[in-house]
Amino acid sequence: MNFKWPSDFKPVPEEGWAAAQLEELARKYDTVEEHGWYDNLNPSVEEIISNQGQQTLLLDYSGGTGILTRRLLARPESEGFGVLIVDSSPKFLRLALEKSKGDGRVGYRLIRYLKEEKRLQSLREVVDESIWERGVDAIASTNAIHLYYELDGTMKGWFDILRPGGVAYVQSGNIRNPEAEEGAWIIDETVEHIHRAAMDIVRESDEFSEYQKVLSDKDYMGAHDSLRSKYFLPVRHVNHYQTAFEAAGFRLKSSVVRTFDALVTDWYDFLAVYHEGVLGWVGGATKITGAPATETDIVIRKKLMRMAMERIFDGKSSFRASWTYFQCEKPS
């Protein structure tokens, strides 16, 4: 039986973002679906399918372009599921809507950034009262928890909207975990290594002599270091997240680390979209210099990224990367 939303709930809200044009950035992000390292979603799908029954309402928090939602709803076991995707990116949410068009099991809510208050809306502010009254049976957060500036507030929102006995299925590759396979990368930490290798390559080679001068400009390089750490946030320890779950009232059911193979070419394709965040100092980032880098600078940035990746991965075609998976229960 198809999932039954509360009677006054509109899965697709009549809001500007839902009628907007599809955006290139979201489409580019969505190509990760084809990447081997995006197998990181498969254990999350299995965990949810094996623990949740029919008429489950899953909150896909930070559901992005809806990749997890589609993988989950493609499974026959989830026929009676409802999924509410909540995300702070209107562009990603718009693409999620496109991909699940006509699938009445999926609802969408946008978290807006309140400029004057300098904060994102809370879950309470974006999800309808009828859903709060019902409660959700489960929450998924994949590849996103490391991005939450307001971790405690977010955990509190999850705890409050979950029904007693409900489970949050949370995973991210950007968590320091002492249990990880030896030699496995934290995927975003490759960026810092790419940056350092690119500086070495520029120093060593006349081909890049034009870019050598900035390397000794501390202010310029420091400003680009700060920019990089905004695109790719500093990695936190697994204990940091476990403490936050427990502080919000959750019982940690499990914490598991898994490892995936990532193709260097796939990871390059992904990072190349964010070339300004990775190697913005090559040509200068708009936010820092006030002017966009030239086409030539961008070509050089990408070339350096490829060369640096060749160097840090010793010319291999793939690398191992670890992901941490949590299951947290709201006690009955």
Ligand X SMILES: C[S@@+](CC[C@H](N)C(=O)[O-])C[C@H]1O[C@@H](n2cnc3c(N)ncnc32)[C@H](O)[C@@H]1O
Using CB under 6 A, list all residues that contact ligand X.
Answer: 41, 62-64, 67-68, 87-89, 92, 111, 120, 142-144, 147-148
CA distance 267 to 272: 8
Token pair for 104: 């009445």
Measured from the CB of residue 29, what is the shortest distance to ligand X in angstroms?
7
Minimum gap (Å) between residue 283 Cβ and ligand X = 26
Distance from C-alpha of 194 to C-alpha of 279, rounded to nearest angstrom: 8
Q: Which is nearer to ligand X, 150 or 181 (CB)?
A: 150
Q: Is the dihedral of CA 155, 158, 164, 169 positive or negative?
A: negative
* Closest distance of CB 252 from ligand X, Å: 21
Residue 128 CA to residue 238 CA, distance in Å, equals 32
| Nearest approach, Cβ of residue 300 and ligand X (Å) | 27
We find the least distance from the C-beta atom of residue 34 to ligand X, in angstroms, to be 12
Structure tokens at 148: 């939450």
Bridge partners, residue 326, by sequence: 170, 255
Exposure b/e, 226-254, CB count within 10 A at least 16 = b: ebbeeebeebbebeebbebbeebebeeee
Q: Which helix (H) or strand (E) holds 125?
A: helix 123-126
Phi and psi torsions of 205, nearest 5°: -120, 130
Name the residue nearer to ligand X (CB basis): 258 or 283.
258
Nearer to ligand X, 111 or 227 (CB): 111
Task: Tell how many helices (H) and how many strands (E) occur in the chain.
Answer: 15, 11
| Largest Cα span, the chain | 68
Residue with smaller CB distance to ligand X, 106 or 120: 120
What is the nearest approach in angstroms of ligand X to the Cβ of residue 146? 9
Measured at CB, which residue is nearest to ligand X?
A: 64
Nearer to ligand X, 112 or 203 (CB): 112
Closest CB 229 distance from ligand X, rounded Å: 16
Residues 205-212: contacts with CB within 8 Å, 24+ apart?
Answer: 208/300, 208/304, 211/281, 211/282, 211/283, 211/300
Decide whether 41 or 127 has the Cβ nearer to ligand X. Answer: 41
